[in-house]
């Protein structure tokens, strides 16, 4: 990480992002869901696991790229959001084609997941008992709730990135400001 006086700001601290931590839970949950409830050889397994992985990995990659490219950070954060939307559709499809119940947003079950997600540590371990001991219907609905939360956070993150870019500019603007500060110091010193 660069010193604050440089033109490359601190970056890459993605593990501190709540969106990343939730995306990691979604990945771990999805991996286990596919192992438990989908038949070996089903292409959906690869699709779902890769969509979950892409959500998590693109948040990390965007965070790392942010030091030198706000454009890349925005693009990769949006790719993460799109990947999780794809995964969300897969869970919806799983429930629909099997004629399983999709929880209403205000159902007691969905409210329970939202409350627990606010209180529990943001790790897979806090969800393990639900994922390993509940039916496919329940686990898929838990995943859907957690994906919605992660997508909400990514939407907020994208709005913040846009606002920050408009206010501060990108690498070229920071480089120019740093160079002008250096010239002013030489002239004044």
Q: Which residues contact 63 (CB under 8 A, 6 or more apart)?
A: 11, 12, 13, 14, 17, 20, 73
Would the pLDDT of 8 be above 70? no
Domain residues of the chain, as ranges?
14-188
- Predicted confidence at residue 66, as pLDDT, reads 76
Answer whether 88's CB lies under 8 Å from 152's CB: no
pLDDT in tens, 41-92: 999 999 999 999 999 999 999 998 877 678 889 999 999 999 999 999 999 9
**Mean pLDDT, rounded, for 144-159:** 97
Q: What is the pLDDT of residue 4?
A: 47
How is 130-187 classified by DSSP, letter by letter? Answer: HHHHS-HHHHHHHHHHHHHHHHHHHHHHHHHHHHHHHHH--HHHHHHHHHHHHHHHHH
Predicted structure pTM score: 0.84
Backbone φ, ψ for residue 99 (5° rounding): 55, 40
Instruction: Tell me how far apart the alpha carbons of residues 179 and 139 are, in angstroms, rounded to a whole number.
Output: 54
Question: What is the residue whose two structure tokens read 């120019």?
Answer: 176
Instruction: Over range 171-176, report the average pLDDT.
Output: 62
- Closest by CA to 110, choosing from 84, 135, 134, 144, is 144
> Considering only 22-31, 140-149, 174-183, which range has the smallest mean pLDDT?
174-183
């Amino acid at each position: 990480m660069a010193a604050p006086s440089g033109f490359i700001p601190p970056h890459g601290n993605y593990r501190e992002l709540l969106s990343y931590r939730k995306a990691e839970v979604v990945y771990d949950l999805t991996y286990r869901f596919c192992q438990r409830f989908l038949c070996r050889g089903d292409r959906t397994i690869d699709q779902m696991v890769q969509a979950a992985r892409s959500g998590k990995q693109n948040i990390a990659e965007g965070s790392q790229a942010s030091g030198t490219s706000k454009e890349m950070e925005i693009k990769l954060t949006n790719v993460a959001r799109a990947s999780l939307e794809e995964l969300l559709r897969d869970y919806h499809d799983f429930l629909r084609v099997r004629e399983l119940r999709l929880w209403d947003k205000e159902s007691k079950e969905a409210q329970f997941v939202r409350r627990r997600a606010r209180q529990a540590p943001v790790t897979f371990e806090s969800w393990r008992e639900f994922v390993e001991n509940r039916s496919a219907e329940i686990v898929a609905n838990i995943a859907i709730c957690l994906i919605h939360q992660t997508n909400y956070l990514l939407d907020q993150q994208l709005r913040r990135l846009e606002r920050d870019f408009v206010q501060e500019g990108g690498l070229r603007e920071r480089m120019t400001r740093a160079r002008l500060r250096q010239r002013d110091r030489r002239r004044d010193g």
